[in-house]
Amino acid sequence: MNKSLRNLMLYVLIVIIPSTVISFLFLDMRMKNNLKEESHRTEWVGSIHKTTWNDLISETVTSLDMLSITIETGIDTLEEIQPLLSQAQKTDPRYGGIHLLNSDGDLLTGSNKLVIGTDFSKYSYIQEVIAAKDIVISNQLETLNNGQRVIGIGFPVTNNHELSYILLAHIRVDYIQNVMKVLTPDDQLYVMNAKGDPIMGLNTQNQEIEESGEWLSIPFDMIPWSMSIKINGQDKKALFKDSAVILVLIGIFFHIFFLFVLYILLKRRAAIEKKQNEIQKLELVGTLAASTAHEIRNPLTGINGLIQLLSEKYTDPQDQFYFTVINKEINRINEIVGEFLILGKPTAQKMESIDLRDVLMELDPLIASEAAYSSITYNKAIPPSHVMILCTKDQMKQVILNVTKNAFESMKPNGSLTISLIKLENTSTITITDTGIGIPKADMDKIFNPFYTSKETGTGLGLVVCKRIIESFNGEISISSKENNGTKVTITLPLAKE
């Protein structure tokens, strides 16, 4: 898979899919919350209209009840009733007319002359009043001769439980609609009769309830009617517009997250490539060392033997000094070749269970001698019990000598070197602490890099060799240091199983 395709797939997985899913969930949540808010608002609208209708019916019934009492107790002729009905209509704008019918439903008199000649006895709700002797409201709208639409309410006037008259009140539909429009001018609603048929509406084109959208049905208390109010959900375009800022922020967040992931992957890839380069470099050095080590050491052996013979022949102090220098340099070449060999490909090592205390005690005279020669205070702390590890003894000595050598080279006279060995439950720890010049913070990440050195004559392989040896023993080596404040080398090794 090439890099572009991998980045594209990563972009889809980190940006496109999450931002799309979260944006969808956010919009869905917004729509549900909006619908919930609209449902609560619609319930509030319904409660207002329900209260208005209950008050309208209650006030109408109260008004008709007062008229019925007046008719029963104080009026004897129809001529006296007609002005009373006309006065009641004029004082209350809700009425389209108030009429008096006999017990058979025939019109006797009324406040609106437009209904003269109308046979109310055939109206179903008038027949219900006659039969039940109770208040009945019409289930259908009536249209007067002047085109005015009204709702009829029949009120029985009784005497000793016998029906004497019927008061018929026509409630103006336009009056009711105006009241409803003042209360909630923008809401769409229908008033339904007992059969569920719409008889009037607000902000509607016709009397048929639209199938689209959600509707809230609220029953009235005083009449067997109900009201259906449309729940206005937010327009999707408006919702997208209102949510645009949040959606953009979601997209920006995931793009930033995508760039962060790319940065982490690039950093990780760079670290892997760097490690691979170091491994390849070490392998190259190891291959070179393996192929040339014997060719280098064989001549050195011959040179060393001849120098030994010459040193026995020429005993002059000046000559002996030269022979010493030559031997020292030959030994230095041998050490460098040995370091190159260790850096090569791992070879089978014969590891055995070794007491770390024995290693330190065998090295003690060498370290103490070097400390005395350099005017360095040497301290050691070794536990009384065995500290057994699996290792190669000579290589373990090489690590400790290499680290102590670096410590001596970093210190001035009157410095201090401390070596301590600690035995824990499953591991052992060797700490080598000096009071030398320390390592600059900028160089701490480079100290284990091959060929990196701060010394004029160093190879830059000493610590790399130490790390390779310790890791071959399944251990770890770490260094902590502050410039002008000394260095602490910590070597952790697993204890050998008994």
How many Cβ atoms sit within 10 Å of the Cβ of residue 435?
A: 20
Using CA atoms, how far residue 72 sits from 67, 75, 98, 159, 185, in Å, is 9, 7, 16, 8, 42
460: left (phi over 0), alpha (psi -120 to 50) or beta: left
* 3-state DSSP assignment of residue 212: coil
pLDDT tens per residue across all 498 residues of the chain: 577 788 788 888 888 888 888 888 888 888 888 888 888 888 898 898 888 888 888 888 888 888 888 877 766 677 778 888 888 888 888 898 999 989 899 988 888 887 888 888 889 889 999 999 999 888 888 888 878 888 999 999 888 888 888 999 999 988 888 888 888 888 888 888 888 888 888 887 654 555 556 888 888 887 888 888 888 766 667 777 777 888 888 888 888 988 898 889 888 888 888 878 877 776 776 666 666 666 676 777 778 778 888 887 887 888 788 878 788 778 777 766 766 666 555 555 678 899 999 988 988 888 888 888 888 999 989 898 888 999 888 888 888 988 898 888 888 888 899 999 998 888 999 999 998 888 888 777 777 776 667 666 666 677 888 888 888 889 999 989 888 888 999 999 999 876
Strands 198-202 and 189-192, how do they pair? antiparallel
Q: Are 247 and 26 in contact (CB under 8 A)?
A: yes
The structure tokens listed for 61 are 């019934």
Q: pLDDT value at position 439?
A: 83
- Non-local CB neighbours of 48 within 8 Å, separated by 6+ positions: 183, 184
Long-range contacts, 67-72 (Cβ 8 Å, 24+): 67/98, 67/167, 68/155, 68/157, 68/165, 68/167, 71/100, 71/157, 71/165, 71/167, 72/157, 72/159, 72/164
Q: pLDDT value at position 193?
A: 83
* 3-state DSSP assignment of residue 278: helix
- Cα separation, 50 vs 219, in Å, equals 8
Strand partners, 427: 494
